[in-house]
Chain A
Amino acid sequence: MNVLLDNFPEFRDGFIGTVSITAVSSVIALVLGVLVAGLRVSPVPPLRIFGTAWVTLLRNTPLTLLFLVSFFVVPEIFFPGMSPFLLGSLALGFYTSSFVCEAVRSGINTVPLGQAEAARSIGMTFSQTLRIVVLPQATRTVIPPLSSIFIALTKNSAIAGAFSVTELFGWQKLMSDRGYAIAPVFIWVALGYLVVTFAISGLFWLVERRMEVAR
């Protein structure tokens, strides 16, 4: 008997769960990360301080601890009744946003200062300068580290399984509870993750190639 074929619906649900939480928290991480990177290079000191605090706090907190906060503190104080999926996505997205922020900031720093000076001297505001001139040129440098960050995010999503989110790694626990041999179970789980991470690599490879042409 085959552990995968016999339990395919659960495996499929887990796989879809992993893909969904990865997708949702990637979007959260990307949006927040770019936003916070903008704050960190802003000319307004309070915004810079907020950005720095954001990164310092989230990057240096163990992800499991963030999950604990997200699942046991956030619903108590802010949003009662939020689904585990959303809470998990938030924890993962916020955590990863600090890494995205730093990757984006390093990209911003590779764009020559003269580009921003030229933009400012034709009258662009800070946010226009960032959006229209600096970030598009930073993208090329940011793509390779971002791809690593999102692959790490995919694997980190396994922690959500411990917080009753349906995802791939949770399937492993289910199977071992049902008494299957552990080795084949792990191989299937690993293959499942490989599909997601290879898809991310491929996606970024495509984006990288397109950026190369555009310059």
Chain B
Amino acid sequence: MSGVSVTKGAEDAAPAANDLVVLSNVNKHFGALHVLQDIDLTIARGEVVVVIGPSGSGKSTLCRTINRLETIDSGAISIDGKPLPQEGRELARLRADVGMVFQSFNLFAHKTVLENVMLGQIKVRRTDKKTAEDKARSLLDRVGVATQADKYPAQLSGGQQQRVAIARALAMDPKVILFDEPTSALDPEMINEVLEVMQQLARDGMTMVVVTHEMGFARSAANRVVFMADGKIVEEATPDQFFSNPRSDRAKDFLSKILHH
């Protein structure tokens, strides 16, 4: 792992034991397109890392490689000290510890909201039904959709669905949650209700990797901003540094385009 990627945001210059997600020298191609180029990234326990960058820069792909929804061509990814295993039972077990929130929510359409949050607990964690239901209800309460528990996902607004998706991820007691553009498919007025839940999570000390276009969230909740362009990590900095004084031209250009209206 290169010196550049050592956590700058975390105050205590922590040893490797505190590193939860480590990507080293990760490369991935989609055909001729080199979407991830020599990515080195370390995410410490309790850290909130926001990944921003222009469309097609590989940030979603980066996020999806962490729980191996996308395979990588070379390099290594480890979570909590364990390298990502091949597809199979072991990978499934590891994924249970890595929450994922998708742009398009992906709630199980044939299950009620409550069942969505209970399913992983019962089928993967083998929790008994009663405990799973209690936990699901309290999580739904925490994200503010307790009254919708018995509805089907399609009956909920986008913002509500995304909050249920967050509850579903939380139900597994994950070590880290990956957010893949969680607000990009939402109406403007629903974005905030989702961001508030995420901000609360960040305050509670959840380790989060957030791919987003919400600069406000990056400013207020991130420990570190990772700026990607053309498959590379161009810049890593604290939000303050990044937004007030970006070092790279690419980041300056990007920020000038998005912050001016």
The interface of chain A, by Cβ under 8 A from chain B, is: 43, 112, 114-115, 117-126, 128, 132-133, 136-137, 214-215
What number of residue pairs across chains A and B have CB atoms under 8 A from each other?
Answer: 71
Q: How large is the interface on B (under 10, 10 to 19, 20 to 34, 35 or more residues)?
A: 20 to 34
Q: In the complex, which residues of chain A have a beta carbon less than 8 angstroms from the beta carbon of B199?
A: none
B43 to chain A minimum Cβ distance, whole angstroms, is 17
Pick the contact of A137 from B109, B123, B169 — CB < 8 Å? B109
B51 at the interface (CB under 8 A from A): no
A47 to chain B minimum Cβ distance, whole angstroms, is 12
B93 at the interface (CB under 8 A from A): yes
Question: Which residue on chain A has the smallest CB distance to residue B169?
Answer: A122
- CA of A137 to CA of B154 in the docked complex: distance in angstroms? 14
B106 touches A122 (CB 8 A): no
B69 touches A124 (CB 8 A): no
Q: A43-B87, A114-B102, A132-B119 are in contact. Are A121 and B108 (CB under 8 A)?
A: no
Question: Which residue on chain A has the smallest CB distance to residue B89?
Answer: A125
Q: 8 closest Cβ contacts across the A-B interface?
A: A123-B96, A122-B120, A118-B106, A114-B106, A121-B100, A123-B124, A123-B95, A125-B92
B11 to chain A minimum Cβ distance, whole angstroms, is 31
Having A123-B92, A125-B92, one finds 16 other A-B pairs with CB under 8 Å, namely: A112-B106, A114-B104, A115-B109, A117-B100, A117-B102, A118-B165, A121-B100, A122-B99, A122-B100, A122-B119, A122-B169, A124-B124, A125-B89, A126-B87, A128-B123, A136-B110
Which one of A115, A119, A122, A126 has the greatest number of beta carbons of chain B within 10 Å?
Answer: A122
Q: In the complex, which residues of chain A have a beta carbon less than 8 angstroms from the beta carbon of B94?
A: 123
A123 touches B107 (CB 8 A): no
B137 at the interface (CB under 8 A from A): no
Q: A122-B95, A122-B96 are in contact. Are A215 and B123 (CB under 8 A)?
A: no
Q: In the complex, which residues of chain A have a beta carbon less than 8 angstroms from the beta carbon of B97?
A: 123
Q: A43-B87, A128-B123, A132-B123 are in contact. Are A121 and B98 (CB under 8 A)?
A: yes
Q: Is the interface of A mostly helix, strand, loop or mixed?
A: helix
Q: In the complex, which residues of chain B have a beta carbon less than 8 angstroms from the beta carbon of A126?
A: 87
B91 to chain A minimum Cβ distance, whole angstroms, is 9
How would residues 76 to 96 of chain B score, 1 for a CB under 8 Å from any chain A CB and 0 otherwise?
Answer: 000000000001110011111
A168 to chain B minimum Cβ distance, whole angstroms, is 39
